[in-house]
Structure 1
């Protein structure tokens, strides 16, 4: 598996545009807070590192990953944003609940982006266990929050260039 071989959050092979001209929303799930807190720090710090202004980053917390959908929709309805980053973590349990939640969250986040014609970035970990989640939230496989922020910057820049 490729993730066993490297830190997946390496962006040395690509150019990241400046985030300075853009406004971002970050919606983070409180459930699995150790993991989602790390994802949030990765995303927030990455936006700042690439030039975003603190006042142009609006962060909101929702209960769990399922609520990321409503959180992103509300943010885009009430704020002028160039992209929204959704951060959550769903860990496999003993029931099919995992499958239903992951499917609903992925589809819901996509639908919010389509509804608002804005990038809504899927930064939700769907892992088998806590260790895998932590490995992807600042651990040996990088930080998916960082990756989600880079994606938001790149697609906001692409969208802006097409105006």
Structure 2
């Protein structure tokens, strides 16, 4: 469903289990920090609201979205980590750089999840403008960080 028709923070309560013993890594890009900090805050609060313990949520920062994949791999190889959330924001610019970064990050995050057979969640915004990013990081379309956390919780209940 198009984002214009749905808040990213609206979700079904199906397939949500007890996550109090689960351990999460949240990898956050420092690039577009205003956006990514909002994504992190929402993801962190959503995990806590669904029963995760503070000591079971680990935050790792990386310089940009491109670095999310390697950091996700480092986190995923830790057998004590049950799910990895990757949070970033790549805003369209004047060159094709956007296309290359978005493609690499999407494929990289997918491959890490498949390699380690655990949820590795794509919480990366790919908007055309800063305003579109803010609309999806706590604005009129909810918060993609909340969606990433719910996705991790639901995948652990699969």
Do both proteins adopt the same fold according to a TM-score greater than 0.5, normalized to the shorter chain? yes
Q: What TM-score do you get using the length of structure 2 for normalisation?
A: 0.94
| Structure 1 residue ranges, 4+ long, deviating more than 4 angstroms after superposition | none
Deviations 1:50-82 (A, max 9, x none): 000011111100000000001111112245111
Cα deviation digits, residues 8-66 of structure 1 (max 9, x gap): 3112x433333212111100000000000000001000000000001111110000000
Spell out the pairing of 1:47-66 with structure 2 (5 A cutoff).
47-66=47-66
1:118-158, Cα deviation, whole Å (9 max, x unpaired): 11000000000000000000111000000000000111122
Gap regions ≥5 residues in structure 1: 159-163
TM-score, normalised by the number of residues in structure 1:
0.91
Q: Distance in 1 between matches of 2:56 and 2:157?
A: 15
CA distance in 1 between counterparts of 2:6 and 2:119 reads: 27
Tell me, in whole angstroms, the C-alpha distance in 1 between the residues paired with 2:113 and 2:93.
29
Equivalences for residues 66-85 of structure 1 within 5 A: 66-78=66-78, 80-85=80-85
Unaligned 5+ runs, structure 2: none
Equivalenced residues, count: 157
